[in-house]
Amino acid sequence: MHNMMHNMTDDEMIANHIVMRRGVCQYVRRVPEDLRAEFPFARIQRSLGTQDKRKAREAALELDRNWERRFAEARIRKGVGSDDIGGIARIDTAQWTWSDWEALALWLKLTLANDDWQVRLTGAPGRLLGANADIKSLPWRDDETVKQHIARGRVLAKMTVGAYTSDCVGDVQAHIRRLGVIISRTDPHFDRFMAACMAAELAYLDIFKQREGRIGGLDQPHPETVPGPWRQARAEPATAVPPSPVVRHAKQTADTEITLAGKTLADCRAKWVENRNKVKKKVRPSHLREMDSVIAAFEVQAKVRDIGAIRRRHLLAFRDHLSSTTDYAAGTINKKIGFISSLLGTALNAGWTETSLGGSLFLEVPQDEGGREPYSNDELATIFASPTFTTGYRNKQVKACGEVQFWLPLISCVHGMISSEILQLGPDSFKPHPDAPQIWCMIVTNAGDRRIKTLARQRWVPIRKELLDLGLLKLVEAARSQQKRFIWQVLSEHGDDVEKVSGYFSSYWSRFSDRKLMIQTEGTSLYSFRHAFQDALAAAGWPEEVKKALMGHAESGMTGRYGTKKKPRVVDIIEMNEAIQSLKWAFIGNVKNLHG
């Protein structure tokens, strides 16, 4: 629920499930979370064809009845009757007082906080769990989740309680249904309870912010500690009338025939790593961390751990959950689904399970998805006017990566290098060019087990003179004197794990640019510095050969792969240096390195 994005804040809310859009009343509501796998869509939207609000309410009431009936039928198809909610007897709330509903809202807040805690626990070290918990060791959530939480907080800050009630009641219901509680709009406490749920979600977002900021949020009690009538009902012997045999369809019969494998997705992960090691294929730590995060999120959402109980519908529900409650791109969702399907494929090959989940699990990726945008001149001015680049300020968070937060954006912007190339710079990467000793260069290479993105094995990139004045070579000499592989201290602190540090800084930069600098242009990221450099070269009139030589591009596009091969013009280091030094960067004269 807390990951849900809303597009209704600019519309006039009339009543539950009714909004006014472009002068016409619309019926809009979400499919309840527990039924997402039963419908091919996550959102219901229908024009009521009228501007008359009274007529719209009448039409919406009829649609409400129809959809409630369809949702009830869907639950029956799932083997869940009206008096039996997911195997839990439905609780009669007719005699509940406001204090009971208030306690339920508290339970909701703690449940949201607990779900986040469970995702983080996968990577939590022991020092986080002791009496004197080291909060700095709390695992981070991924960048997309953090962005989405920020966006959700902004939406809730502007949203009215009426809008929240209309758009989120289904998601609230999906959470409290696990207790056997069904909320009714006719209940006298309904509106106040939804307001309390909105407050609960806002409180959870504060907890999430504290956790990401490493300033608190660890002392949240478990939701089961909240006293409420649902606990008494669950403790008492079941007195509800057993559901009719007619309600229990083939789906339940099929589920009761499940043979548990006694294995979890974590076991599949270990087997996957074992298989990779056998064939001497590399296993990247960042890949495993992302895989662990997806496993935890899937198990929280699907509420299934044994792989023998996982069904195709669980993956489809997880996919639709990500699609409807997050702002993940289709490619990102497919990547996460791919983790789970790949692990289940490993289980199938290991003989732990017997049934394939089949194909067609992935979303179609739009042709224009993933486009990256360069930073504009105004955005570059904002970035390099920040205290990191003007007053010597350094963020002390682990993910800020020490001096990397100053040098990496600067090098990337004025040289067009990508972050992984910059992080892999070592003392041996800085030399005068043999043909022009007066020109100091950075050597981008895949020698020494370094990895670069382009096909070129090595390129020489002249160093912008302002970076020499700012003390870049002092950093190099310090690393050389200490016989370090890379020039960045943070890499030494993390076992020279480039992937890990790259992930850390990417996460930091995403939060820093979005929260501190308020740069929220869609498509911008660390890679935007490279695009800004490329645009600057083009604007200055430098030919394609110079751009390729400086940025390490192979032949441009498919045209370079086919047809007559013509050897490109060789670009000498003098011309490359002239290109680097001549680019007009308005900000660069104001950059100061007080740590140099």
Alpha helices for 350-402 (secondary structure H):
377-384, 387-390
Query: Does the pLDDT at position 188 exceed 90?
Result: no
Determine how many CB atoms are found less than 10 A away from the CB of residue 401: 26
Query: Residue 86 pLDDT more than 70?
Result: no
Locate 309 and state its tokens: 């109980």
3-state secondary structure of 250: helix
Mean pLDDT of 534-549: 89
**Which tens digit of pLDDT belongs to each residue from 439-480?**
999 998 754 445 554 434 578 999 999 999 999 999 999 999
pLDDT > 90? residue 536: yes
More confident position, 65 or 285: 285
Of 439, 445, 383, which is closest to residue 409 (Cα–Cα)? 383
Q: Which stretch of 101-105, 224-228, 253-257, 509-513 has the lowest confidence by average pLDDT? A: 253-257
pTM: 0.44
Confidence of residue 387 (pLDDT cuts 50, 70, 90): very high
For the CA atoms of 50, 52, 53, 55, what is the dihedral angle to 10 degrees? -70
pLDDT of 238 above 70: no
Q: What is the rounded average pLDDT of the residues 244-255?
A: 36
At which residue do the structure tokens 């300033």 appear?
215
pLDDT at 126: 87
d(CA 113, CA 339): 25
Termini Cα distance of the chain: 47
pLDDT at 9 over 80: no
* In the predicted structure, residue 54 carries a pLDDT above the cut 90: no
368 exposure class (CB count in 10 Å sphere: 0-12, 13-18, 19+): exposed
Confidence grade of residue 358 (pLDDT, cut at 50, 70, 90): low
Sign, CA dihedral 231-234-237-239, equals positive
Q: Measured in whole angstroms, how far is the alpha carbon of residue 175 from the centre of its chain?
A: 22
Q: What's the CA gap between 319 and 312, in Å, rounded?
A: 11
- Predicted pLDDT of residue 103: 93
Question: In terms of C-beta density within 10 A (0-12 exposed, 13-18 middle, 19 or more buried), how is residue 60 classed?
Answer: buried
Helices first, then strands: H and E counts in the chain: 22, 9
The predicted pLDDT at position 55 comes to 83
Average pLDDT over residues 223-240: 69
- Give the range with max mean pLDDT: 45-54, 156-165, 242-251: 156-165
Average pLDDT over the chain, rounded to whole? Answer: 81
Question: Of 130 and 533, which is predicted with more confidence?
Answer: 533
Q: What is the pLDDT of residue 88?
A: 57
Q: What angle do CA 406, 407, 412 make, to 5 degrees?
A: 120
pLDDT of residue 457: 53
| pLDDT of 571 higher than 70 | yes
Per-residue model confidence (pLDDT) at position 474 = 94
Q: What is the pLDDT of residue 364?
A: 59
Instruction: List C-alpha distances in Å: 573 to 302, 435, 462, 535.
Output: 58, 8, 8, 21
Q: Label residue 217 left, alpha or beta by phi (over 0 means left) and psi (-120 to 50 means alpha).
A: left
For the residues 228-239, what does the mean pLDDT come to? 63
pLDDT (0 to 100) of residue 359: 65
